């Protein structure tokens, strides 16, 4: 299950000669519940590259998002990335996972930090069976807690 997401962060440095990892501003790590040395997935919006690495803590409130080591070949300074972390839980506990989502501005300052409210709304009954949700211009119908693509 997705545990955390830093949404649309801007890469501030690349260092091919560093051992590896991604350096993330400590304030962003804390807000998104990403721990030092935790495995993260990085998705580059600019070129479509996706890679796994581990997080290391950068100076708090510095805005640093640094891609280090071999992964530095997959990004350029200024690229926009999503940083995701996941956790494994038994199926019966999966519904209780509420990811932390941290949105940032062009300097990687937090503009919004919250749990995934749509999941909380769904759990509370604010979204009931038969209601429709639009995701990426594709209409889905929510039935029995399962999203199924609406053919028409």
User: Is position 21 annotated as part of the catalytic site?
Assistant: yes
Catalytic residue among 18, 54, 86, 140: 54
Buried b (16+ CB within 10 A) or exposed e, 52-91: ebebbbbeeebbbbbbbbebbebbeeebbbbbbbeeeeee
Alpha-carbon distance 53 to 39, whole Å? 6
DSSP assignment of 41-63, as one string? EEEETTT--EEEEEEEEEPTTS-
Tokens representing 144 are: 């029995």
Catalytic residue among 21, 32, 85, 100: 21
Alpha-carbon distance 115 to 2, whole Å? 11
Report which of 42, 44, 64 is spatially closest to residue 52, judged by C-alpha positions.
Answer: 42
The residues assigned a catalytic role are 21, 54
């Amino acid at each position: 299950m997705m545990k955390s997401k830093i949404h649309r962060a801007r890469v501030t440095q690349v260092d091919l000669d560093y051992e590896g990892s991604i350096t993330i501003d400590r304030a962003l790590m804390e807000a998104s519940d990403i721990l030092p040395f935790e495995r993260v997935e990085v998705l580059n919006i600019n070129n479509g590259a996706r890679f796994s690495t581990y997080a290391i803590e950068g100076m708090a409130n510095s805005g640093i998002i640094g891609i280090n080591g071999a992964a530095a070949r997959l990004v350029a300074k200024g690229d926009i990335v999503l940083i995701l972390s996941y956790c494994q839980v038994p199926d019966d506990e999966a519904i209780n996972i509420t990811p932390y989502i941290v949105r940032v501005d062009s300097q990687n300052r937090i503009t919004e930090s919250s749990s995934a409210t749509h999941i909380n709304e769904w759990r509370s009954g604010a979204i009931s069976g038969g209601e429709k949700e639009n995701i990426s211009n594709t209409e889905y119908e929510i039935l029995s807690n399962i999203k199924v693509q609406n053919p028409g």
